[in-house]
Each structure stands twice: as structure tokens, then as C-alpha cells.
Structure 1
């Protein structure tokens, strides 16, 4: 089971100024446009269920979780505008996944800047066939410990919706605009910061243990720097010890995907979080994703058969819960 993939429809209504639009170059290729600027070239595997299923079969993947592409979140827009866009894309996601039956499981998007609207849209989507929700890791300067975001996460726990957190809207600067540095350094840092917000912001102390939440890209740089965080919590308690317990206490409250591309990095995740907290992911179908999906997990010689089976599927089955029923 691959818990980290994305979709883009082959077309959508005009969303108005400032929203992405799609330049369709052929039956199999298109470009996501931001105004007159190219944002990302995409292919039919973004919207064509048959293309996805063929790649899944080639990679030995039985089920994909299909999540939005974060550029469409629109958290910087008015809540009603973001809700309108979320409804459009959520309905299109169902159309994309429907031909594949239960092999493609759609996660919805919500207007996270408006907690009440976000909760209502999640409920609508769960009733319509979505099995969970993907959220961005921040709303402007509001991180995941923002009161409104916590309200939404509590609702996810109450209705049993798994949450996938994806970094987005990374900082820009001349230094970060080279070499895709926003994706290569900014994304891991954003995800690390989000996990810090969940811990030091007291979110895990305020939301039920039943919340199922997973962070993309192996949790960013969090696992590598847990020791630094733990040291700071104890040695600078006047500033850092804002959670009820030390950071290591919360390691069983969240999961990460396996999109780290290197068995040494995967070993660190397993050593720090445990094999039960890592799930196979690929970031399919984008160029910075892993192909074949799950390859690093399959080839990791430090995993025994039980741990490998858990990462490749068992953990995701638990994360998705009744969605697989």
C-alpha cells in the first residue's frame, strides 16, 4: 500500500485570477500554470486510472492513497473561495479514482483557514467516498498548533478520518530558488517544524489518542534531530519545555512515510520511530518520487520479514482503518 501519491485532474472550471489553470498540450501531457508561469509539467498518470494501475502493477502496489497536489490548497485565499475550489477538486478526485474500485483511495482537501467549513467539507467528502484528508503543514504563519487547526484535528479524530500532512508554500529567497532548493531543503524543514508544533505546541496533549496522522517525506529532518530537540527540552526548559512530556514521549502518536530514497535514512526512521510507525510511500507520479514504489523498503537488509510486511502494508491498513472494509 502506497500512502503518498498525488493526482491532478485533466481539467477544471476557471477558478479566477490567482488560481492555477491547466494548459493541455496533448491527450497525455499538460502543464499546471500559475498565471503565465509554468509550475509543473504533468502526464496522464496524474488523472488516468488505467495509467496508474499499470504502474502499480509494475511496482507491486495493490492500493494507492491518492491525495491532492498542494498547489491547489488555496489557504491564502478567502475561506469561501478555498471551499469552492476544494469541492471542485474533491469531486473530480472521486471521478479519477472510481474506475479503479478500492485500489485507488481518495483523500480530500479542505479550506483549513476556516475550521468550521473544513470540518463540514470533510464530512461531505467522507459521505461521498473519500477515506481521509490531506492538509498542508501551515496556514500562513499559523502552524499546526493553531487553535483552528487543532479544532479540525479533533474533528478528524472524532469521525475517524486519517490525516496526511504534506509540506507546502515553502519560503522563497535567492538562495532557495536555485537547484530546487525549496523542495530539497525547504520541504524537509517545513515537515520537521510541523512535528515540533504538534509536540511543543501541545497538540498531542490536546487531541485524542485516536487521531491517526502521518507526515510526508519521512517526517522531514525530525528523526535526525530528535536528540537535539530532546536535549533542548531538558536543558532550556524555560523556553522549550512547553509540552507536558519530553518530545520522545510522543513518538507513538504519529507516523511517517518511507519517501527517503536511502536505506540508511530508512534505518534511522525505524530506529527512532519503530517499524510500526513507517508506511510505504512514493510521491507518485512526480519526478522527485520513488520508482519502483517501495523499492527502498524491499531492499533494506536490516528489516526482518515482519517489519518489512508492516511497512509495506500492515501499518497502512491500520492507518486507513475502515476505509479498507
Structure 2
């Protein structure tokens, strides 16, 4: 396996600065990937600091295992298990910062053998953890047109979802689709109108990947867990790459930073009223990549960094 794939962490400086790292603090990198963020956090921690990392990709964990540092721990796990992991490490309510770098990583998309790329041929897989779940090829083969169209529309916002689903099913009846370029070409031929600046299969691949890996549900669960594991003043910093992810993050932050509204005349005690007035989060900032970064790393173009702080 090639671990020397080129990887440029998106908004690394902004993300690390957003944590306001304390020398003796406890931090969690929920999406280790190539370890760019984790390594930067370790540089800023003192001898009493701790960094815990998770990744569902076994290759990422292999890379993390090479970091020989007593302050660092990594586990092969989905970030939806964040609370269980923190509980096991006895750090509930003690964490000073949690980061998420959402979506597919360079580790996955740049390795054609993982089946994420619509530009390079490889086996049609798309699982972030190739040891669990069902491959894209098997799912497309067993699913009907309506199921495929639903996924393409809801997870890829694909306007031609029905046409593409019909084409996929039609091809699968003759010969099972097993490679990424096979699928990309089927999508390309099924779409009547194309954007010359974007690959026609981009939304289809995104949709199937998100659905197979249950990415949006993972994010929702993990975000709720951060409220339980952060210490007051602890930072939550999240980089998202498309509207579906960012919508979840934005909604979560707004919901937890807004005081509850009590209907007029509703019977409620003063203690209950004071509880409802408490905001769990304070929204700190929303940062977009600079023009320079976008030029240097085109993948950062659609990224958004949102930062919030747990209230005491």
C-alpha cells in the first residue's frame, strides 16, 4: 500500500489556531487521515497534554500507529463512537478541543484501489472501512431503480437521478458494473445536460459514498456526543466540504447556541426557566479558504471551517 500519496491538509493553520491549544490540554482528532492535524497538535502540546485520534479507515490507523509518542493514542473506530471512546479513556467532560475534517480523505480518493475516484479506474468499492459493510458494486447490483434514484437525489442532489438509476440498472442486467470508470461512463452517457467545469459523475459518486458509509448519520451522532465530552470553554472545530455536511454542522451549532423560547402563559418553574435560557454553545467563527490556498490546493475550494465553544 502506498502511504506516500500527496496530501495537503485544508486550512490546517486556521483549524489548529481555532483550538487555542493548552499545553496540558486533552484533544481529540476524530478524523486522523494522514495525521497532518494530529501531528500539528502534538507539536503544541506539553509533556502532560494528551491527543486521542480515531479513524474508520484501517490504513489511516496503520499510519497513526507509526507515531511513537506517549501523549498520543489512536483507535480504529467510526467517530460516531466518540462518546464510548471518551468514556473508555475516562475523559468525559475533560476534553479541551475536538476536530472533524469531514468527507472523503486524500488517503482514500487518491488510491484508485479504494474505488472512490471517477477519474481513475479501480474496483467499485467506496467503503471507508473496506472490512465492513457492502461495496458500491454489490449495492448497485442488488438495488432497484427507485432505491438508487432516492440515494442519488438525496445524498448527491443529482437532478437526473432517475435517468442515471435507470441506466445503472439496465447495464447491471447485462453485466455487473465492477469498476469506477464503468460507472462514470454510464453516468456520463445518461446525463442529457452537462456542466463543462464539473465531471458528470461527481454527484453520483458522492451520493453512493455518503450513503454506503452512512456519513451524515455519523456526523449527527458525533456532534451530539461532543456536547457531553467537552469541558466548558472547550473548542469544537469542523471542516466540511459540501452543502449536506455543512448544513448539519450549521444547524447543530445554531440550535445549541439559541435560547429556548417558552410559550406565553406556559406553567414553568423558575429553575426550569433558567435551564432553558442556557446556551450550550457559543459560535466563534466561520472561515473560508483564502484565494492563495484554493490556488495551491483546489480541493479546498468548497471547504468551510466552523468553530464553536462549549459554554460553562
What TM-score, normalized by structure 2, do the two folds share?
0.32
Higher relative contact order (CA 8 A, sep 6+): 2
